[in-house]
Amino acid sequence: MKASMAGNDCVVIPDDWQGYKLDLFCIPKHYEDDLEDIMIPSGLIDDRVERLARNICQDFGHADHLVALCVLKGGYKFFADLLDKIKQLNRNIEHSVPISIDFIRVKSYVDDQTSDEVQILGVDNLDNITGKNVLIVEDIVDTGKTMERLLKHLEQYKPKRVRVTSLLVKRTKGSTGYRPDYIGFEIPCRFVVGYALDYNEHFRDLGHICVINEKGKKKYAAEAM
Ligand SMILES: Nc1nc2c(ncn2[C@@H]2O[C@H](COP(=O)(O)O)[C@@H](O)[C@H]2O)c(=O)[nH]1
Ligand SMILES: [Mg+2]
């Protein structure tokens, strides 16, 4: 992969990246026919998440408390892995930061199409973010509409400071220009699944980040279920 650190803020996967052939890695049998290629193998995700954890700990090092807010469902795997790495770092530094966790559910996609309607389905009462440092943990920013809507929604709870980390940011023509504070990978405009990213609730149980093929889209289309 010809990955670069353009803009110095993340790993950039170029538009002409063909991905890895499926038979070079382990893929669950039930998904073998439904994927085009592997865009980011799970080992590379793990290494990048470790570095994001370090950057976040450095920036929040002197905070008195941090609320890590997981955007469900797609963000759960990134959230769990990131928190594990932050906890490891927290055990070994002078100024450790107490962390509490919260969850919020946001829904904007059917099949591989975004809708203008972004639904925010609260899971917990968010009153406990008032006056706190908040880290929002998201799987992917595409147009940026979901995150802008969520940030607006959180304003009413008057948090002290809000930062956003997204494992992926897609290069898309429809972007609002929104860019998270900590980004894992900037990717081409293709619909990806795996590492908890779904297509109509399928593929969350796939470890690598892969590109779904036409057969997979048809098989798991909303109207086919
Ligand atoms: N499984 C995938 N989900 C995706 C992908 N691109 C976007 N999304 C979902 O949409 C929101 C963000 O969309 P936005 O346009 O409002 O920024 C994100 O949280 C995902 O749930 C994708 O390639 N695969
Ligand atoms: Mg998401």
Checking if the pLDDT of 213 tops 80, the result is yes
Q: In sequence order, which residues have a C-beta less than 8 Å from that of residue 221 and are 6 or more positions away?
A: 111, 200
Q: Which atom of ligand 1 is nearest to the CA of 203?
A: 1
What secondary structure letter does DSSP report for 160?
A: S
pLDDT at 83: 97
| pLDDT at 116 (0 to 100) | 62
DSSP state of 32: T
Q: Rounded mean pLDDT of 187-195?
A: 97
Ligand 1 pocket check for 56: Cβ under 6 Å: no
**Cα 193 to middle of ligand 2, angstroms:** 12
- This prediction has a pTM of 0.92
- Given strand 11-12, what is the order of strands in its sheet? 11-12, 182-187, 161-170, 133-141, 66-72, 99-110, 113-122
At 17, list the tokens: 């990246």
Mean pLDDT within 38-44: 98
- Name the closest-CA residue to atom 20, ligand 1: 140
Q: Which residues of 118-150 are buried (b: 16+ CB within 10 A; e: fewer)?
A: bebeeeeebeebeebbbbbbbbbbbbbbbbebb
Query: Residue type at 58?
Result: Q
Average pLDDT, the chain: 90
Question: Which stretch of 8-12, 44-48, 111-115, 218-222 has the lowest confidence by average pLDDT?
Answer: 111-115
With cut-offs at 50, 70 and 90, classify the pLDDT of residue 62: confident
The predicted structure's pLDDT at residue 49: 98
Cα(104) to centroid(ligand 2), Å: 10
pLDDT bracket for residue 68 (50, 70, 90): very high
Ligand 1 contacts CB of residue 192 (under 6 A): yes
pLDDT single digits (tens) 86-138: 999 988 887 788 999 999 998 775 666 666 666 787 667 889 899 999 999 99
Closest ligand 1 atom to Cα of 143? 15
Integer Cα distance of 198 and 192 in angstroms: 8
Q: Which CATH number applies to 44-188: 3.40.190.10, 1.10.10.60, 3.40.50.2020, 2.60.40.1190? A: 3.40.50.2020
